[in-house]
Amino acid sequence: MSDSFLEAVKFDAQGLVPAIVQDYDTGQVLMMGYMNPESLRLTLETGKTHFYSRSRQKLWLKGESSGHVQYVKSLHLDCDADTVLVKATQVVAACHKGYKSCFFRRWRPESQQWAEEGERLFDPNEVYSE
């Protein structure tokens, strides 16, 4: 694999770059995570999204515990080279709360409240039993 993609990416002081994942077919934003050089390399090599967890301080494959993987269709770099856009096909749902997108809450100015949109595609308690 060529390192030219990785060399173009501007990682922050912690060695991370934000990665936005978008549904390849619909354009819906599914999630945002962080990638380090190793997770980005794994994403390029395997065709499945890998991220770096800031809270757990480790690499993770999206869907490693749920089976809800993301198959990468294309990778894009923004104009400043400091954000990656991944266009992917999502298996079941991206959100660990059961929704297709992590962005299922919408601000309603008229009620001054957040409202959940979309349907829950799976029960997180069944998928992520600890």
pLDDT for residue 3: 76
Mean pLDDT by 10 residues, the chain (130 residues): 84 98 98 98 97 97 96 98 98 96 97 95 88
All structural domains of the chain with their residue ranges: 4-127
pTM: 0.93
Instruction: Give the number of other Cβ atoms within 10 Å of residue 67's Cβ.
Output: 9
Distant-in-sequence, close-in-space partners of 62: CB < 8 Å, separation ≥ 6: 21, 33, 48, 49, 50, 51, 68, 69, 70, 94
User: Is residue 127 within 8 Å of 121, Cβ to Cβ?
Assistant: no
pLDDT for residue 129: 78
pLDDT for residue 2: 58
Domain 4-127 adopts which CATH fold? Ubiquitin-like (UB roll) (3.10.20)
Side-chain-side CA neighbours of residue 26 (13 Å): 9
pLDDT for residue 106: 97
